[in-house]
């Protein structure tokens, strides 16, 4: 069987013109100045809109907690 009405290459490319990947804009965290996706909690400090949304120290080991607390203290100062 053959195709009755083929799409021309220009028609196909015209349709695919909206498939381009768009670079997402990044915001900065108000607390630690890390790059964050907008409207999401910061992965570095766990804060969203000046409130702690996620406890980032909860799943870390004792050694990692100490290093993370030191890093966060340095960023605040």
User: CA–CA separation, 55 vs 72, rounded Å?
Assistant: 13
- Which pLDDT score is estimated for 18? 92
Q: Which domain holds residue 49?
A: 24-76
Any domain includes 30? yes
On average, the pLDDT of the chain sits at: 87
Any domain includes 7? no
pTM greater than 0.85 (yes/no): no
Tokens 């949304």 locate to 53
Tokens 């290459």 locate to 9
Count of the separate structural domains present in the chain: 1
Any domain includes 57? yes
Strand intervals (E) in the chain:
27-28, 35-36, 47-48, 51-52
Any domain includes 5? no
- Which pLDDT score is estimated for 27? 92
pLDDT digits (tens, 9 = 90+) for 2-35: 778 888 999 999 999 999 998 889 999 888 888 9
Any domain includes 9? no
CA dist 17 → 6, 23, 25 (Å) = 19, 16, 21
Any domain includes 46? yes
User: CA–CA separation, 49 vs 30, rounded Å?
Assistant: 8
């Amino acid at each position: 069987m053959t195709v009755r009405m083929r799409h021309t290459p220009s028609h196909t490319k015209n349709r695919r013109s909206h498939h381009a990947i768009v670079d997402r804009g990044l915001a900065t965290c108000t607390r630690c100045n890390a790059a964050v996706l907008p409207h999401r909690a910061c992965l570095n400090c766990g804060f969203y809109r000046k409130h702690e949304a996620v406890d980032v120290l909860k799943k870390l080991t004792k050694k990692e907690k100490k290093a993370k607390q030191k890093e966060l203290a340095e960023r605040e100062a």
